[in-house]
Every structure is written in C-alpha cells, then in structure tokens.
Structure 1
Amino acid sequence: MHFGWWIIWILVIVGVVWAINRAQEGSTSSRPQRETPLETLKRRYAEGELSTEEYEERKERLERDR
C-alpha cells in the first residue's frame, strides 16, 4: 500500500513538470526565436521608438553592410 502512494506522487510530479514545460513551449513559440537586424529595426519603427529619418538612415546602413 505504501508503495502505491509513492507511485501516485511520482506520477503527479511528472505530470506537473510536463504541464509547466508544455506551457513554456507555447509562450515562446508565438514569437520568433531571433529577429534579424532589419526585423528589429522595422518593429522599433512601428512601435514609435524611431523617427522616420532614423529608420531610413539605419535601414540604408544595414542594407549597405549586407
């Protein structure tokens, strides 16, 4: 009987760990793992962090350095 409770607890712990890992995979898969520099630049411009002049200048520099 005592052995049965150990098995139940082990299964509960494994299930919780599995559920946590599964939840973390879902949250990270919704966004790309790494953005390219141009994607980062576009995102920052879209969020209003950069002015149009800054965006154009940095975009030209990135395209030139390719």
Structure 2
Amino acid sequence: MDTVMYWNGGGWAWMAFMPLLWIVLIGLIVWAVVRLTQRHVGGDHGQDRGWPPRETPEEILDRRFASGEIDADAYTEARERLAAGKPRPR
C-alpha cells in the first residue's frame, strides 16, 4: 500500500523533469554570464550592442584639456605625439 501512495502522487514525473529543469537553469546562467561579459571586437566601438561608444585618444585629450586637467603645453605635446604615432615615453 505504501508503494501505491508514493507512485500515485506524481513523484516519478518530478524525478524525470528535475534534470531537465537543472540543465535549462544552468544553461540560462551560462548564457547570461557570457552575454554580460562579452567584449565587442570591431570598428564601431560597441554601438551595435547598445554600449556607449569608446572615446578616441584625441577625444580623451580634448576632454582633459577642456576640464583643466592638463595645461596647454602638455596638450600640444600630446597632440603632436598622437599625430606622429609615437608611444608615450615611460
């Protein structure tokens, strides 16, 4: 009689369904982590994914000069280096 009560409650259906549920749940978690941590490798600076565009070095330099972080001499020197394609000295 105990066996009839156990199988009559639908426990076997849950036992068959649970592995599928876990596979789907883990798959969703992996998909979400990959989607959130992906970095776009392309020339549009991430615009196709809704990310804000990345600033170019020239735009960063212009912003820093406009906000007063650097003076005119440092700005001019950095602009010349960027135009010449030389790396910054260490």
Question: Which TM-score applies when normalising by structure 1?
Answer: 0.56
Alpha carbons of structure 1 residues 5 and 47: separation in structure 2 relative to 1, 3 Å: farther
Structure 1 portions without partners, runs of 5+ = none
Matched, 1:18 2:38: no
Structure 2 portions without partners, runs of 5+ = 1-12, 40-45, 86-90
Higher relative contact order (CA 8 A, sep 6+): 1
Counterpart pick for 1:38 among 58, 74, 77: 58
Q: Percent of aligned positions with the same letter in both sequences?
A: 36
Cα RMSD of the aligned pairs, angstroms, is 2.9
Structure of larger gyration radius: 2
Greater helix share, structure number: 1
> Structure 1 CA distance, aligned partners of 2:28 and 2:80?
51
**Count of aligned pairs:** 61
Which of structure 1's runs of 4+ aligned residues deviate more than 6 A?
none
